[in-house]
Amino acid sequence: MKYRELIQDMTLEEKASLMSGKDFWQTQNIDRLGIRSMLLADGPHGIRKQAVGSEQPGLNAGDPATCFPTAATIANSWNKDLAEKMGEYLGKEAVTQNVNVLLGPGINIKRNPLCGRNFEYFSEDPYLAGKLAAGMIKGIQSQGISACVKHFAVNNQEERRMTIDAIVDERTLREIYLTAFEIAVKEGKTKSIMTSYNRLNGTYTNEHLHLMQDILRSEWDFKGVVVTDWGGSNDRIAGLLAGNELEMPTTAGETDREIVQAVKSGKMKEEVLDECVDRLLELIFTTNEVFNKPHFEFNVEKHHRVSQKAAEESIVLLKNEDNILPIRFGRKVAVIGDFAKDARYQGAGSSIVNPTILDHTLNCFEESGIVSIGFEPGFERYGKRDRKKIEKACELAKKADVVLLYIGLDEVTEAEGLDRHSMKIPKNQIDLLNALNEVNPNIVAVLSCGSVVEMPWIDKVKGLVHGYLGGQAGARSILRVLSGDVNPSGKLAETYPIRYEDTPSYHFPGKEVSVEYREGPFIGYRYYDTAELNVLFPFGFGLSYTTFEYSDIQVNHEGVRFKITNTGKIAGMEIAQLYVGCKSKDIFRPKKELKGFSKIFINAGETKTVTIPFDDKTFRYFNIKTNKWEIEEAEYDIMVGASCTDIRLADTLFVEGTGAPLPYDKEELPTYYSANVHNISLEEFETLLGRKAPNPKWDRTKPLGYNDTIEQCQYAKGVSGRLIYFAIIFVHWFLRKIGKRSIANLIMMSFYHMPFRGIARMTGGIVNMPMLDGILMMVNGRFLKGLVHILKERSKMKKSPKTGNIGKRKL
């Protein structure tokens, strides 16, 4: 241990105190030993250091900070260097705000298009997500602070996220859901990781010995700190034994006492606690070093320009019929859509940033060179139908050469804590589009949202520009693409299916207790491509104002080399993608998988040579019999393309294997070998899983306990429990009715799906676990006994001395 002498000088109580937060955002300090607090802050795409003070919980406004593009947006850039540059500037701002640990990036895989937090994640592909995350981590940590990669692991839905049990087979877990984290740890060298709320195959992730010890610590050699998600600690001692050092936020000393008692009783060896303290001290001391040096306020304008550059490279041109784009000089443009007036630029939840500057489309036209003849909102932002707005928009559209129609999803549709109900954009926007198409077919739609949407209306537009959620400079960036000042170079980091029912995980978001990942590794393009299912836009797709030609492929055991020529008339950037497919049919696999990529700038008429090396992930698969990564001896298709379906060059390569036994019996898993995983039977899934899947339904006969949710109060034995449930349902309905949708969402996120233990874990000691026992008595039908118990425990708590960095010096 690095800090052995310091740890020997601590009391047991002091060691325990370091394992939980001092308040909602800070870690504990021990002044007599020179141990300072750390400040943690949300920040996947911008710092959210709450202006009200670090002691306050909730989603309060943060100090002004640059709102960069969200992860879903920057993923479309396919530019590792750009992700690193963005991380560097995030790190600079964190230092100016005295933030030690920046809670991001989020790298969970986009298993399903409806996950409410998809805007905060990179991709459906773990290799792309991992490489971009590693770049961002390097940038953040280059400034002396720590990134905190989240949410480890298999957190792919928001509904019931604090209790849901993700049932995943080991191979799918390793190949799909852990690979991005592996890259973040091994290549990004992240100093901290945040565990997810959910259970994985029956065990909460922060208590999961296989996940936390076998894989994270032993296999990946992670030496850093593991932090719970806020309120995500279930059993504090089980978490420490698994190596989860820091519990956030504070529990006002309650879990400190649990730790002390566990050591004294022999339930946990003090050496285990010492190791956790040692790792935490390393993070505290190394991240606090930067604050010993002078630092200055960041340059707001410069950071805004970096945000703009990131947005520009991430914009995806999806359709350009008749070369309607870029908009030619002198053409009269009608600007329609509420999102043009008030830009949609970020998601909702803990990642909300209070921007330093905010560009809006209507304020940026003069510098774009595009001639606007007027603006009409055209629709009500939150879905209410308004015929008069449509009529006014159509009158304006009649006078224009081109209609710029700004549409998308509103701020409360994509939000932390909630999943979307469909892939559709609001009907009132489609009604407007249909009406506009009748009076002027020259429509360019500008789409603003952070996740996949259905587009049955796409034939009604000639141009489609997808800006995703481009941060505070996103609106100006889109205009620069529309005008031709910027040649679009973004490509989709996720597949756009024709309809939601085509997705392999469309039985989403799982049942009451668990969600079964029956599709195995066949998610996103891995499914559509292998099952030969048509999609609207494939993974890796994106148009340019120029054209590129691929030639002269050369493949050897080190990698692939080829040439790209810009055959158009203007300079541009191309994203070349390397896919690999195994020709053997002995082990079921996707038809092809992304194994490398390169983004390269090429002038008009110029030819450049591109080299994409193979790495340790190019040919591997996880073998459940040997319990390790293996290589199947076979011929492999080596494919280079402009998207996963637009393969321009191909060759084959024979690769020697590791001689591992075949992991599966083909006859037992026929559907997986056919890749037709849309309707996997429970029996076949359990064969893949290697065990029985748990009952996905709640046991309504049992009394409610710590890990049951407020939602389950609808079945409570006590009248008070059912009243709580119906009160929350009514308040949620009423808030939506009066237009307070953000608050209504917060009700669902913070109360409806929260387990009872969350009441104790998230209230900073106002309610402790003994008081929670009283609450459970009340909802389970023993109202008076529970009330007396609460009052008794509350009285005890008021009389007990406050704990914290208390303890006598060891002699």
Query: Which sequence positions are flagged as catalytic?
Result: 229
Check the CA dihedral 675-679-684-690 and report its sign.
Answer: positive
Whether the Cβ atoms of residue 401 and residue 333 lie closer than 8 Å to each other? yes
Residue ranges with strand state E in 430-540: 443-448, 463-466, 496-497, 514-516, 535-537
CA dist 761 → 232, 558, 728 (Å) = 8, 51, 20
In sequence order, what are the residues at sequence separation of 6 or more whose Cβ sits closer than 8 angstroms to the Cβ of residue 10?
A: 30, 33, 277, 807, 810
Residue 521 is encoded by which pair of tokens?
């590794």
Tokens linked to 443: 């429509």
Residues 6+ apart with CB under 8 A from 750: 417
What angle, rounded to 10 degrees, do the helices at 179-186 and 126-141 form? 30
Residue 278: exposure state from Cβ atoms within 10 A (0-12, 13-18, ≥19): middle
Give the CA distances from residue 306 to residues 7, 82, 365, 653, 761, in Å, rounded to whole numbers and listed in that order.
43, 9, 20, 41, 38
* End-to-end Cα distance, the chain: 20
Contact present, 92 and 46 (Cβ < 8 Å): no
List all residues 6 or more positions away from 194 whose beta carbon is below 8 Å from its beta carbon. Answer: 103, 148, 149, 150, 151, 152, 226, 227, 228, 229
- Residues composing the chain: 811
3 state SS of 407: strand
DSSP β-ladder status, 634-641 and 647-655? antiparallel
Distance CA 243, CA 223 (A): 10
Distance, in Å, from the CA atom of 158 to the CA atom of 492, rounded to the nearest integer, reads 23
What three-state secondary structure class fits 238?
helix
Strands (E), 593-705: 593-602, 607-613, 620-623, 628-631, 634-641, 647-655
Residue-by-residue DSSP string for 281-322: HHHHHHHHGGGGS------HHHHHHHHHHHHHHH-EEEEEGG
